[in-house]
């Protein structure tokens, strides 16, 4: 899975909207949408902020543990 797909998966598992995640990470909702649709590539610092907001490991977001 891509980073965007993983972010969406973890966000939905937490029952958060893109707007709520955007508020927690200090970005606009449209940026979250672009990242989830792989239009924009997030920085590692932003991925760390997302992981903290979603209470998951950074490695899970970036797919380090994926077997594909």
pLDDT band at residue 41, thresholds of 50, 70 and 90?
A: very high
The model carries a pTM of 0.88
Q: Does 65 score more than 90 pLDDT?
A: no
**What confidence category does residue 63 fall into, taking pLDDT thresholds of 50, 70 and 90?**
confident
Average pLDDT over residues 13-25: 97
Contact 55, 11 (CB under 8 A): no
Domain covering 3-55 in this structure, CATH number: 1.10.260.40
Question: What pLDDT, on the 0 to 100 scale, is given for residue 58?
Answer: 94
Cα within 13 Å of Cα(43), Cβ side: 5
């Amino acid at each position: 899975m891509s980073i965007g797909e993983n972010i969406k998966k973890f966000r939905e598992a937490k029952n958060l909207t893109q707007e709520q995640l955007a508020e927690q990470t200090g970005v606009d909702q449209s940026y979250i949408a672009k990242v989830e649709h792989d239009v924009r590539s997030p920085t590692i610092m932003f991925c760390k902020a997302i992981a903290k907001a979603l209470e998951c490991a950074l490695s899970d977001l970036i797919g380090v543990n994926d077997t594909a």
